[in-house]
Amino acid sequence: MTIYSTTGRGALYNSIVETVGDTPCVKLNRTGPPHVSMYVKVESFNPLASVKDRLALNIIEAAERDGTLTPGQTVVEATSGNTGIGLAMVCAAKGYPLVITMAESFSIERRRLMRFLGAKVVLTPKEERGIGMYNTAKKLAEDNGWFFARQFENAANADIHESTTGREIVADFKGTALDYWVTGYGTGGTVTGVARVLRSERPDCKIVLSEPHNATLIGSGVAQERNTDDSPTGSHPAWEPHVIQGWTPDFIPKVLQEGIDRSFFDEVRPVDGTKGMAIAQHLAANEGILTGVSGGSTLLTAIEVAESAPEGSVILVMLPDTGERYLSTPLFEAIPAEMNDEELALFASTR
């Protein structure tokens, strides 16, 4: 069905934050083996174009509710980008100053977007990894009396995926089969929160968790050591730098630990992020759907699951963000800015 007329959304919104969530699940028509149906949940429909808008909103609103965040107080967070962009949107809309700590290795457009949204971005050396970003944010919070969002430990993270993302999936697949749900993890908020819902409402749905093939933290079976405040004591031995921005930090986050402890996934599959990038480009060119490296990698995992899935299986794949967030990264490296021979010939034919 193509919509040619509309009655609008049937509501006026009082703030951009009210538009977070309710992202569409869209069928793929030219991707994956023909004996299955594949759907993608397109998180780029969120106002700042990623799944992390959800957690950003809930971390701020949960802290407003319990009084740990006071009007005008500065918010600080360590993030690889999407959480910072989401927080920058929420903080701008609600009037909180925001300071982000981010490893210098993440994409330039992420820093500039956050600064455009009014946030300050403190870059940390890439050798210090995710833990360096985290410790810098923690020190700034302690020294200045700021509110530390702590997405890796904050219960408000998985909670919002339980109350929104998971509920949306159950509502949209009401009366329809749902055999597999495929996702990756960064903090683990998405998998833990959605799985709480799927395990009770759709117990037959298999949950497949994907992680970088050169950073198989869960696949290794090695437990994460933690401090008393739930933060990691150090890098996990199975971690290596990988190309999937936003996925698998160098430690197993506390939020993800609930998912591990409660057996919230039926299978963990390693994926090659470079191959995931090729799938992201396939998705753009064949389905008209723009996603980033994590979305491409999740989709590649889902296609591999699909190949051995029974006839008629229905598979839902999370697409956490948009491809536009990666213009300066290897995702777009092979895409030329200049005309190729065919384009030059087309131009020449008009002269």
Residue numbers annotated as active site: 52, 294
Binding of ligand PMP by 292 (CB under 6 A): yes
Q: Is residue 119 a contact partner of residue 84, using CB atoms and an 8 Å limit? A: yes
348 Cβ contact partners less than 8 Å away, ≥ 6 residues apart: none
End-to-end CA distance of the chain: give it in Å, rounded.
41
Measured between alpha carbons, how far is 87 from 91 in angstroms, rounded to an integer?
Answer: 6
Residue 321 corresponds to which tokens in the numbers above?
Answer: 């963000």
Number of residues that bind ligand PMP (CB under 6 A): 18
Nearest alpha carbon to residue 187 among 23, 16, 54, 21: 54
Nearest alpha carbon to residue 280 among 247, 250, 305, 303: 303
Binding of ligand PMP by 247 (CB under 6 A): yes
Burial per residue of 180-196, b for 16 or more beta-carbon CB atoms within 10 angstroms, e otherwise: bbbbbbbbbbbbbbbbb
Of the two residues 32 and 188, which places its CB atom closer to ligand PMP in the complex? 188
Sheet holding 147-148, edge to edge: 120-124, 98-103, 75-78, 147-148
Binding of ligand PMP by 185 (CB under 6 A): yes
Binding of ligand PMP by 188 (CB under 6 A): yes
3-state secondary structure at position 122: strand
Of the two residues 37 and 196, which places its CB atom closer to ligand PMP in the complex? 196
Binding of ligand PMP by 181 (CB under 6 A): no
Of the two residues 31 and 245, which places its CB atom closer to ligand PMP in the complex? 245
Binding of ligand PMP by 187 (CB under 6 A): yes
3-state secondary structure at position 212: strand
Element (H, E) at 298: helix 293-307
Binding of ligand PMP by 21 (CB under 6 A): no
- Taking CB under 6 A as the binding criterion, the range among 112-120, 188-196, 215-223, 226-234 that sits at the site for ligand PMP is 188-196
Q: Is residue 291 a contact partner of residue 44, using CB atoms and an 8 Å limit? A: yes
State the binding string over 198-237 for ligand PMP (x if CB under 6 A, else -): ----------------------------------------
Nearest alpha carbon to residue 149 among 92, 99, 189: 99
- DSSP-assigned states of every residue in 73-98: PPEEEE-SSHHHHHHHHHHHHHT--E
Of the two residues 186 and 212, which places its CB atom closer to ligand PMP in the complex? 186
- Taking CB under 6 A as the binding criterion, the range among 70-78, 125-133, 187-195, 273-281 that sits at the site for ligand PMP is 187-195
- What's the min distance (Å) between Cβ of 239 and ligand PMP? 15
Binding of ligand PMP by 329 (CB under 6 A): no
- Taking CB under 6 A as the binding criterion, the range among 26-34, 90-98, 135-143, 185-193 that sits at the site for ligand PMP is 185-193
Q: Is residue 51 a contact partner of residue 321, using CB atoms and an 8 Å limit? A: yes
Selected from 31, 46, 164, 190, the binder of ligand PMP by CB under 6 A is: 190
Selected from 37, 58, 82, 154, the binder of ligand PMP by CB under 6 A is: 82
- What's the min distance (Å) between Cβ of 285 and ligand PMP? 20
Binding site for ligand PMP (CB under 6 A): 51-52, 80, 82, 184-190, 245-247, 292, 294, 320-321
